[in-house]
Chain A
Amino acid sequence: MKAGDSGPDVRAGDELPKLTIPITRTLIVAGALASRDYQDVHHDAELARQKGAPDIFMNILTTNGLVGRYITDHFGPTAVLRKVAIRLGAPNYPGDTMVLSGTVTAVDGTTARIRVTGANGLGNHVTGTVTVHLGAAR
């Protein structure tokens, strides 16, 4: 399937280049504060440990933002996010690395659906589906 006569050539089955994101303490804290999420488990390691986690971990809003960025980085300036649906699994702890990968599962006109996975050293941190409008003809 072609996305449109003058649109980008995107087909079901296309694999997106992987994006590697180092999970730094700074990224976790900056993401939590930029999303106005002051839950202590996202910035205070001692309190995170008291709640059963080995360290602070990334909040879901940051994961959501990174998944969105992964898609628009790939599809370019005209790409507009329509839906982002994610599920979290293994937490993103400091010192780990998350590798985002994506596969186009459907293209309908100028809208594409992409299955996204973000894997860290413990397993899949995030799995989800993004629907993106690929933008007007350029």
Chain B
Amino acid sequence: MSGIPYERLKAFEGRTAAATGAGKDPVNEAMIRHWCEAMGDAHPAYRGPDAIAPPTMLQAWTMGGLSGHTGRFAAHDELFALLDGAGYTSVVATDCEQEYLRPLRPGDRIVYDSVIESVSECKTTKLGTGHFVTTRMEVRVDGDPEPVGTHRFRILKYAPVRTEAPVPGDAPAAPPERQERQEPAPRRPRPVINRDNAGFWEGVAEHRLLIQRCGGCAALRFPWLPGCRACGSAKWDTVEASGAATVFSYVVMHHPPFPAFAPPYAVALLELAEGVRMVSNVVGVPYDEVRIGMPVRLEFLRVDEEWELPVFHAGPASNGRQAGNGLTGSGG
């Protein structure tokens, strides 16, 4: 496996992956019935003389099947050949976003156009190292310019690592992780407290978020360090953060799960009003509605009987602490 210069991959963005590809079969009752049988879906709209196809079949009508695709553009094949050649030979789908604009019915002949929307930089995942490729497809019925649906699809093209991942079927009754769930709830990792950072945790215990200020040059610093990175002075005092902050950047943690953390959740780099940045959770808003630039406000979240942690609640609310708001706010 060898790295591919990212500019070579980036150049594929915006290129056509398929132009007026045609579904191999028209929408038909047999494939709808096979789908519904496999899914255990007994929705009455998918049966009878006025049947519509299950909307989630959208992609199925565009699949190449055993005989493969025809009508794909060179860009798609070139990109995949480039990735294959670099050792990223395996593929796994990670995301699918579909919008259904009108129903498909037996007899409809499917045509589709697809564009390579993005190719990620090289990423290392639990499966292996590779590149995420996102395509966006518009699906129409032949002869009608209006789309019936859109389909954004993300795959990981990767070089597999050999893992001894657990096979649930091998477990006697339940997978190990499930058995663990019967035991007392796992606790968050404990912080390592020493003389260099004890003042920070003492502040947290008093619901104060303390930033270090250099005694030599007055530069603020966070996280806590024994000396100043700007002037080298070992003297310092503290400034209490006002609690106002904005989301500077964030990631959403989906997998793998860690004990005491229930994915998905947002991990954010917050920029405090004082100018320093810290890593924490954003609460009070669904994980997928966290945005860069979002104003947030400090609050303290009790994570178990021993620890409270500084977290950031979405919204510039004037009262920093809102009782009853936890990690699972049901936003609107």
* A interface residues (Cβ-Cβ under 8 A, vs B): 12-13, 21, 23, 27, 30-31, 33-39, 41, 51-55, 59-62, 64-69, 72-73, 77, 79-90, 93-96, 103, 105-106, 115, 120-124, 127, 129
> Which residue of chain A has the shortest Cβ distance to B67 in the bound complex?
A38
Asked whether A84 and B98 contact (CB < 8 A) given A13-B330, A31-B39, the answer is yes
- B60→A35 contact, CB < 8 A: yes
Residue contact A124 to B257, C-beta cutoff 8 Å:
yes
CA distance A122 to B255 in the complex (A): 9
Bound CA span A120–B31, Å = 28
Contact A30 B60 (CB under 8 A): no
Asked, given contacts A60-B93, A85-B96, whether A36 binds B38 with beta carbons under 8 Å apart, the answer is no
Minimum CB–CB distance from B302 to chain A (whole Å) comes to: 23
> Are A65 and B41 interface neighbours, CB within 8 A?
yes
Chain B residues engaging chain A, CB cutoff 8 angstroms: 31, 34-35, 37-45, 54-57, 59-60, 63-66, 90-100, 103, 127-128, 160-171, 174-175, 177-178, 254-257, 263-264, 286, 288, 330-332
Find B94's partner among A54, A85, A87 (CB 8 Å cutoff).
A87
Task: Find A88's partner among B93, B98, B163 (CB 8 Å cutoff).
Answer: B93
Given contacts A35-B60, A55-B167, A77-B45, contact A121 B178 (CB under 8 A): yes
A37 CA / B164 CA spacing, docked (Å): 26
Contact present for A52 and B40 (CB under 8 Å): no
CB distance from B136 to the nearest CB of A (A): 13
Other than A90-B255, A121-B178, give 11 A-B pairs with Cβ distance below 8 A: A36-B65, A52-B163, A53-B160, A54-B164, A59-B93, A65-B41, A65-B57, A68-B55, A93-B168, A103-B330, A124-B254
Contact indicator B160/A72 (Cβ below 8 Å): no
Q: How far is the CB of B36 from chain A (nearest CB, A)?
A: 8
In Å, the complex CA distance between A21 and B64 comes to 28
Contacts of B174 in A (CB 8 A): 121
Which of A73, A81, A85 interacts with B97 by CB under 8 Å?
A85
Contact A81 B56 (CB under 8 A): yes
Can you list 19 contacts pairing A with B, beta carbon distance less than 8 Å?
Answer: A12-B332, A27-B38, A31-B39, A53-B165, A54-B163, A64-B96, A65-B57, A68-B39, A73-B41, A83-B97, A85-B96, A88-B93, A90-B256, A121-B174, A122-B166, A123-B257, A124-B254, A124-B257, A127-B263
Residue of B whose beta carbon sits closest to that of A50: B160
Given contacts A35-B59, A129-B288, contact A77 B330 (CB under 8 A): no
Max chain A Cβ within 10 angstroms of own Cβ: one of B38, B94, B177: B38
* Distance between Cα atoms of A59 and B153 in the complex (Å): 13
Given known A83-B99, A105-B332, A123-B257, contact A95–B167 (CB-CB < 8 A): yes
Is B331 a contact of A105 with CB atoms below 8 Å? yes
Report the nearest A residue to B65, measured CB to CB: A36
Q: Name the residue of chain A whose CB is nearest to the CB of B263.
A: A124
Q: A66-B39, A124-B257 are in contact. Are A51 and B160 (CB under 8 A)?
A: yes
* Residue in chain B with minimal CB distance to A106: B332
Q: A54 with B39: in contact, given A38-B65, A89-B255, A127-B264 (CB under 8 Å)?
A: no
* B41 to chain A: closest residue by CB: A69
| Bound-state Cα–Cα, A84 to B152, Å | 11
A92 to chain B, nearest CB (A): 9
Q: Which A residues are CB-close (under 8 A) to B91?
A: 39
Residues of chain A with a CB closer than 8 A to B54's CB: 65, 68-69, 81
Given A87-B94, A121-B174, is A95 in contact with B39 using a C-beta cutoff of 8 Å? no
**Bound state CA distance, A106 and B55, in angstroms?**
21
Interface residue from A34, A122, A127 paired with B254 (Cβ < 8 Å)? A127
The residue on B at minimum CB distance from A69 is B41
- Closest partner residue, chain B, to A52 (CB atom): B160
User: Is A37 in contact with B63, judged by CB distance below 8 angstroms?
Assistant: yes
Which residue of A has the minimal Cβ distance to B153?
A: A60
The 8 closest A-B pairs by CB, nearest first: A95-B169, A121-B175, A52-B160, A89-B255, A36-B63, A68-B56, A60-B93, A96-B168
A40 to B301, CA, bound (A): 46
Closest to A85 in B: B97
Q: Given A35-B59, A121-B177, answer yes or no on A72-B41 (Cβ-Cβ < 8 Å).
A: yes
CA distance A51 to B88 in the complex (A): 11
